[in-house]
Amino acid sequence: MRQFLTPRWVLGHVLTLAGVAVCLVAMAWQYRRATAGNMLSWAYTVQWPLFAVFVVFLWVRAVRDARGTRPQKPGPAPLKIQRPAAVPAAPPGDDPELEQYNRMLAWLAANPDRRPKDFPG
Hey, where are the domains in the chain? 2-67, 93-121
Q: What is the pLDDT of residue 88?
A: 78
User: Is the pLDDT at 7 greater than 90, yes or no?
Assistant: no
Q: At what angle do helices 40-67 and 7-35 cross, to 10 degrees?
A: 160
Q: What is the pLDDT of residue 77?
A: 83
Instruction: Report pTM.
Output: 0.54
How far apart are the C-alpha atoms of 24 and 121, rounded to whole Å?
91
